[in-house]
Amino acid sequence: MDRALELAAGGPAHGPNPRVGAVLLAPDGRTLGEGRHEGAGTPHAEAAAVATARAAGEDLRGATAVVTLEPCAHTGRTSPCAALLIEHGIARVVHAVDDPNPAAAGGGAALRAAGVDVVGGVREDAGEALLRVWLHAVRTGRPFVTLKLATTLDGRVAAADGSSRWITSDEARAHAHALRGEVDAIAVGTGTVLADDPALTARTADGDLAAHQPLRVVVGSTPVPDGARLRGPGGPLVVEPTRDLAAVLARLAEREVRHLLVEGGPTLAAAFLRVGLVDEVHAYLAPVLLGAGPAAVADLGIASIDDAFRLRPRSLRVLGPDVLLVADVRHPLDDRPAPHDQAAPQHQPVPQHQPVPHHQRTPHEES
Angle between helices 45-55 and 2-9 (to 10 degrees): 110
Question: Is 46 annotated in the active site?
Answer: yes
Q: Where are the beta strands (DSSP E) in the chain?
A: 21-25, 31-36, 64-69, 92-97, 117-119, 144-151, 185-189, 215-219, 237-240, 259-264, 280-285, 310-319, 322-330
DSSP label at residue 123 = T
Residues 284/287/291/293 CA torsion (nearest 10 deg): -30
- Residue closest to 284 by CA, chosen among 247, 260, 316, 330: 316
- Comparing CA positions, the residue from 356, 360, 351 lying closest to residue 332 is 351
For the four alpha carbons of 79, 83, 87 and 92, in that order, the dihedral sign comes to positive
Q: Give 21: exposed, middle or buried? Use CB within 10 Å, 0-12, 13-18, 19+.
A: buried
Annotated catalytic residue, options 34, 46, 128, 365: 46
State the catalytic residues.
46
